[in-house]
Amino acid sequence: MLQNLHVKNLALIDEAEVDFKEGLNILTGETGAGKSIILGSVNLALGGKYSADMLRKGASFGLVELTFSVDKESRVRALEELDIFPEDGHIILSRKLMEGRSVSRINGETVSMNKLKAAAEILIDIHGQHEHQSLLYKKNHLTILDAFAKETVEKLKDNVKCAYAKYKRHKEELDREALDEAERAKEMDFLEFEISQIRKAEIKPGEDELLEEQYKRIVNSKKIAENVEEAYGYTGYNGNGSVGDALSRAVRCMQDAAHYDGGAASLYGQILEIDNLLNDFNREISEYQRSLEFSEEEFYEIETRLNELNRLKEKYGNSLEDVISYCEEKEKRLEQLKDYDIYLEKLQADYNDALAQLEKASSRLSAKRKEQAKLLSRAITEGLLDLNFLDVQFKISFEELSEFTPNGKDGVEFLISMNPGEPVKPLWEIASGGELSRIMLAIKTVLADKDEIETLIFDEIDVGISGRTAQKVSEKMRVIGKKRQVICITHLAQIAAMADTHFAIEKSAAGGKTKTRIWELDEKESIQELARILGGAEITDTVIQSAVEMKKLAKTVK
């Protein structure tokens, strides 16, 4: 639910804050007061198009912030899939607007515009003239039907989606294998060449790493040998002031001293142990020196083998394991081409099986959709009659598409007749803007129990209507408001009277500046606002009484 809207430095708004409530929230105000700015602000916060001229004159930046409460588990999960996590059950969407650019944030974290819009689709549904116009496009009609029939078709749609993925995979594989004899022979020759090149190399996993280590050691062996030999000279027993000779003399000295004193005997044992360790070290370093000896022939063999293995990795994989896997795949492919007719028969059989499964799944889905379409047609027709469409007929037509899609093979279109004796025709042929808004309202009323989005905003829902029709529209808004939070901007008293929470928008001039403000009306103020809408420039006692009666009537309908 949208709890709060905060706007700063936008158009005529210096700074405004609105706390929306549950149920039906109505916004009214005189023409030019800034009602469109309020809805525009919400659109901007949700990722709508922005231009610098939207900023309040003289302001360096603008800010729009929306605070939503999120408690439905399904909404929380959907947000978490976008890596958005409610904090204390709230999501705050904000957009800072500066000249030439904007910055969007969710709960204080900067996000991309795509992520902002994805979050908005989960949290709120805005219906203005553009959204009403979306009814004219056939592609949206199937979406509406499936939303209505969600409980009965969701599993069937998943089955179709899986079957389509399998069908598409087998179809692409079969199409790819449409080779003539010359193409097949050419591919086989190439495969045999690659396999032969790899198999002749007799690759052993990890061989290259071992050879790399040996190669590096040989290349650096001269430097290593020089250092090792020098270390051996320092630690050996070959005179010239080496550690070994000095240690031997020290051992003899301590041996003599040990004959005369027990304390010296302990020290003698320690230095004797050091002498033994040095002997071991010298023996091992001598063996290591011998291991550094190599022949030019050995170096050439290692270098040649490494070059061969590296060439194979460059052609067939990043590692020897990849090269071996590549070879095994090509051997499998070669076997397929050798028994090509059998292979094609299997591909065709797999494709036929996948197609049959897709046809079966799509047929079941289509049958269920057609059942639900009758229910939806009936419900929308009743809704349109309630909205003062006289003798209206609403039907949903089906056509079979030429190709399968992940959504089956159904093409759906909404048809309507609004005059007695006239055949039903596509919406785009006969519906006006005002009629489209009422049709959308009827659809939204029907979907009120199906749609999980908690907040709906309606703008221009009252275009081209008045009197009895306006009363019917207000009653439909009330129905949706029982299940969802509804925010509606209107200029009709019948709709405004139905408000659970009524806000006024007012424009004023002071100090050479024009400002727009918005505030929540109490019962008395709401009646005064209704009277203003009803009476225009002059508000008489009769008009006031009419507003009171209208408010009473709305309460009885609720």
Percent of the chain clearing pLDDT 70 (strictly above): 92
Task: Please tell me the predicted confidence (pLDDT) of residue 181.
Answer: 66
Which residue do the tokens 């052993």 mark? Answer: 204
Percent of the chain clearing pLDDT 90 (strictly above): 30
Tell me, yes or no, whether 119 and 16 share the same domain.
Answer: yes
Alpha carbon distance 440, 125 (integer Å): 12
Tell me, yes or no, whether 124 and 205 share the same domain.
Answer: no
Instruction: Using alpha carbons, list the distances in angstroms from residue 59 to 19, 329, 513.
Output: 24, 66, 13
Alpha carbon distance 301, 215 (integer Å): 10
Does 162 map to a domain?
no
For residue 138, the one-letter residue type is K
Does 488 map to a domain?
yes
Query: By mean pLDDT, which of 118-127, 250-259, 285-294, 464-473 is the weakest?
Result: 285-294
Does 536 map to a domain?
no
**Domain range spanning residue 273?**
200-333
Tell me, yes or no, whether 16 and 121 share the same domain.
Answer: yes
Instruction: Using alpha carbons, list the distances in angstroms from residue 251 to 255, 264, 268, 273.
Output: 6, 11, 7, 10
Alpha carbon distance 188, 181 (integer Å): 11
Instruction: Using alpha carbons, list the distances in angstroms from residue 308 to 69, 100, 303, 304, 315.
Output: 65, 58, 9, 6, 11
- Is residue 234 predicted with pLDDT exceeding 80? no
Over residues 321-328, the mean pLDDT reads: 91
- Is residue 67 predicted with pLDDT exceeding 90? yes
Does 453 map to a domain?
no
Q: What is the pTM of this model?
A: 0.62
* pLDDT band per the 50, 70, 90 thresholds, residue 294: low
Q: Of 407 and 245, which is predicted with more confidence?
A: 407
Nearest to 486 by CA among 463, 465, 459, 468: 459
Does 298 map to a domain?
yes
Alpha carbon distance 423, 416 (integer Å): 8
Task: Please tell me the predicted confidence (pLDDT) of residue 293.
Answer: 67
What is the domain-level CATH number for residue 123? 3.40.50.300
Does 412 map to a domain?
no
Instruction: Using alpha carbons, list the distances in angstroms from residue 550 to 203, 207, 499, 544.
Output: 90, 90, 11, 10
Task: Please tell me the predicted confidence (pLDDT) of residue 340.
Answer: 75
Residues 508-542 pLDDT 10s? 776 667 778 889 999 999 999 999 888 866 788 88
Which residue among 284, 299, 333 closes a domain? 333
Tell me, yes or no, whether 210 and 118 share the same domain.
Answer: no
Helix (H) or strand (E) holding 412: strand 408-417
Does 295 map to a domain?
yes
Task: Specify whether the CB–CB gap between 387 and 438 falls below 8 A.
Answer: yes
**What SS3 class is residue 92?**
strand
Residues 6+ apart with CB under 8 A from 369: 145, 146, 149, 153, 398, 410, 412
Does 477 map to a domain?
yes
How many structural domains is the chain composed of? 2
Instruction: Using alpha carbons, list the distances in angstroms from residue 283 to 185, 236, 279, 458.
Output: 64, 10, 6, 92
Q: Of 393 and 50, which is predicted with more confidence?
A: 393
- Is residue 266 predicted with pLDDT exceeding 70? yes
